[in-house]
A and B are shown apart, each in its own frame.
Chain A
Amino acid sequence: MFEAQEINAEHKDLIHDVAYDFYGQRMATCSSDQYVKVWDQNSDGKWTLTSSWKAHSGSVWKVTWAHPEFGQVLATCSFDRTAAVWEEIVGETPGPGERGTRHWVRRTNLVDSRTSVTDVKFGPRTQGLQLATCSAEGIIRIYEAPDVLNLSQWTLQFEIQCKLPCSCLSWNPSLSKMHPLMLAVGSDDPNPANGVKVFIYVYSESCRKWTKMDAITNITDPVYDLSFSPNLGRSFHVLAIATKDVKIVNLPHVYDNPNSQNVITKLDAQIVAQFDDHESTVWRVCWNVTGTILASSGDDGCVRMFKMNYINSWKPIAVLRGDGSQVSNEGQRSSVSSTVGPQIQSASQTARYIKLGAISQPRDVPWH
């Protein structure tokens, strides 16, 4: 089903993050070797390195693209305690039809953190240029560029104390204006006694402040990555969490009511799926653009993909090996370790019908 193409990134150390741009035609990689590389795909699908530069004086943990309406803009964060915003400058074209020289310019360096900056993400496009960072000292910082044409000016809007070292963050990408800004932050603190490792913050436009929501209370294992699903039309939000397994959580919509004085601080979150297929630490979770497929990667060196079927229950659909091969016969593993909620349980009961049909392997499910 999948063809693997090896890309020789020629990073001199571990690659910590890879990111496609909005159109999926460029990608950025970042590594411990302190370099960030930008790649472009040519017409026959081959990736060519177009830029490579030393971005930080420490390991570069994450790289993320801004929406292209703000230009070709990247943000990176690093062990060197800074986050940086980069913009691509296209030089004078030597002639018609020829491509000008390109290089990336550091537009700003955000130096507020006193420890390693572990994640950086641009806010939803509808909010203009916002940038959230989180750090190992447990502080979430939200920056804003008041003038989207001037990427060198960023003001620190909020500092949220999170108490535990943060490892990852995700904005709720919902496009609807009805949904207030929402941030999920994960902590990789290894001690279960330190309590919950996923924090949900909701921004209230009327109070102009971020409020922590009591939502997910039962995840005390270290969280390595989390990601809100793109919400194109769902009536609830979906959050994927990478911890010792893959968890999928449904969160209800929150509506910002300017009239009510008492702020809601509780969200009724529901863990709808839990997969321990990796049987090891899960490092990454990532959604496709429609939010229908979740990909996760773990220490087993595999990318595993999950999809919600027509009866709202999540099922594994494909396994990709990190060495480029596809897992030949994973068989029908009983991967749903525990599903929560009576609705889902009834669904997994009826799912027995699958075995009567022609589907014997998860990968046989038509690619949707």
Chain B
Amino acid sequence: MGADFVTLSLTPILIGALAAVACALPGNFLVLRRQALIGDAISHVVLPGIVVAFLITGAVATLPMILGAACAALVAVALIEAVRRLGRIEPGAAMGVVFTAMFAGGVLLLEQSDTSSVHLDVEHALYGNLESLIWLDASGWGSLTDPVALAGLPPELGRIALTLVAVALFTGIFWRPLALSTFDEGFARSLGIRTGALGLALVVVSALAAVAAFDAVGSIIVIAMFICPPAAARLMTDRLGAQVGWSVVFAILSAILGYVLAGYGPGWFGLGASVSAAGMIATVSGVILALAAVFGPRRRGAIVAT
């Protein structure tokens, strides 16, 4: 736990934890609103977005790709809504039609374009490259106060931290209207809250978190962190504030435990290489959810006749 840790593991763990929290915060509301699969849909349609951005700019640059991904996410939300209304189709099926088609389009574009020379492929989009986000300029814990070394931090760290701040601000500022419109939309509307616009804003913020997290950690973590920590937190408490708190704890725990298990776990079994950190973080969050589903104090919820 010395200099090696700071160079190789500190920044990936930080980025993973920040991304996990950024996704888990809006995830709480999505799970309560039964829109949990929005995260799934968004993380699929991000692929065509970044491929189109790559085809337009011709380079693997971060900003255009994030913009492309964000545009694709908005297009997908609009398309889902259009298919649902124009075709009078239930939301689940409308979502299934749109995100599979857009993902297929992304894969096709990727295969058709000449991306063999650059680091852009489907596997990368799915697993992310958390392990490669190392802090080469660091020489030890002392580097944390060294401005020269700090300048060499991976840019993903700054971006994901900024995203987390934005997401946390949104959640904090709109806490009351969000909570009201989530639990009783009719009542919220009678108070003059514009529930439609608020719902759309929540989806946009989720898309923002998904895109930024996707840039750093790949889409598996995004889907898992949108759903697993909030779902597990929901089984722990009846109060929204406490639920959000639990979900943040679970998200950070998944990120740290997952990364450590992926990096050092195989060594304990005598295997040489490490395994996918993104996959392991998702797995740990699933284990936490499973534990909550079996032992969580509020797993059954209030007694209602259903």
Asked if A and B are interacting partners, one says: no
User: Taking beta carbons and an 8 Å cutoff, which residues of B are in contact with A?
Assistant: none
A-to-B contact residues, CB < 8 Å: none
